[in-house]
Amino acid sequence: MSVPPAFAAIGIIIGMNRVIVQSLEAVTLVGGGPVSASVLRLALARAPRLVAADGGADRALALGHEPEVAIGDFDSISGSARARMGAARMHEVAEQETTDFDKALRSVNAPFVLAVGVLGARVDHQLAVLNVLVRRQGPPCVLIGAHDVVFAAPKGVTLDLACRKGDRLSLFPMAPVRGHSDGLEWPISGIAFDPAGAIGTSNRVVAPRVLLRFDAAGMLVICPRGRLDAVLAALL
């Protein structure tokens, strides 16, 4: 099966660096978990290149969108999705030490990645995704769920939220980390965050601009989904 020009334009590279998708445009990565048509449209409006992680191809196809490539160990993609994708767009990463989200994300080089279909299903899968997110080195990746957006905080980030007082902003550490904040109802300075100790869920915004600083990697920031564009502006 030949690859249509629109798909070929993304650029397919297979080499020692394991990059499969090289794109000058942002990429939407769809996983095999629940994703609505509205969430997928929201992501594609900002990240127009569509890549599937294994069974995410079924999710995308069911919503009327055809991924440019699928990446994974292919233990969850259906036979019908395989047939529709065709061999030229299927990129198998056979090792079993990592998740399909990990395989796909590390195979994409783009200005940023919006991941959908990775939240809201099995808890173990969600935890694995969050583990990858905080370990990732490379362009920003933001997870979009039914209600939230989630990203791994850099050591410093300023969010221009322009929101009403009381909007939720949660901090969840995946490793020991300390930080400083401006613009939150409960400042975080002096708190020793730890996944088995102090966490920062359900903090609230009290200023249009929120400043966050951390002494190490490992902090997840969780905002309402409506703040996606503010998050992207801050990370980019």
Tell me, rounded to whole angstroms, the distance of Cα 21 from its chain centroid.
16
End-to-end CA, the chain: 37
Reduced to 3 states, what is the DSSP secondary structure of residue 212?
strand
| pTM confidence score | 0.90
More confident residue, 20 or 18: 20
Residue type, 186: W
pLDDT of residue 41: 97
pLDDT of residue 15: 35
Report all structural domains of the chain as residue ranges with CATH numbers, in order of start.
Answer: 5-146 (3.40.50.10240), 156-235 (2.60.120.320)
How do residues 118-139 score in pLDDT, each as one tens digit? 998 889 989 999 999 999 888 9
Per-residue DSSP letters for 99-163? -HHHHHHHTEESS-EEEESSSSS-HHHHHHHHHHHHH--SS-EEEE-SSEEEEE--SEEEEE---
Strand order from edge to edge, sheet including 90-92:
90-92, 69-72, 49-53, 27-30, 113-116, 141-144, 148-152, 219-224, 168-173, 200-204
Q: Residue 35 has which token pair?
A: 């994703």
8-state DSSP, 3 = P
Reduced to 3 states, what is the DSSP secondary structure of residue 183?
coil
| Tally of CA atoms within 13 A in the half-sphere of 162 that contains its CB | 9
Q: How far apart are CA 182 and CA 206, in angstroms?
A: 9
pLDDT at 218 over 80: yes
pLDDT at 18 over 90: no
**Residue tagged 């629940």 (tokens):** 34
How do residues 154-209 score in pLDDT, each as one tens digit? 999 999 987 667 889 999 999 999 999 999 999 999 999 999 999 999 999 999 89
The residue-averaged pLDDT of 140-144 equals 97
pLDDT of residue 164: 63
Q: How far apart are CA 175 and CA 178, in angstroms?
A: 10
Contacts of 143 (CB under 8 A, 6+ apart): 115, 116, 118, 119, 129, 133, 149, 150, 151
Asked if residues 149 and 222 have their Cβ atoms less than 8 Å apart, the reply is yes
pLDDT at 7 over 50: no
User: For all residues of the chain together, what is the average pLDDT?
Assistant: 90
How do residues 31-58 score in pLDDT, each as one tens digit? 999 999 999 999 999 999 999 999 999 9
pLDDT band at 96 (very low <50, low <70, confident <90, very high): confident
Residue burial 208-232, b: 16+ Cβ < 10 Å; e: rest = eebebbbeebbbbbbbeeebbebbb
More confident residue, 72 or 114: 114
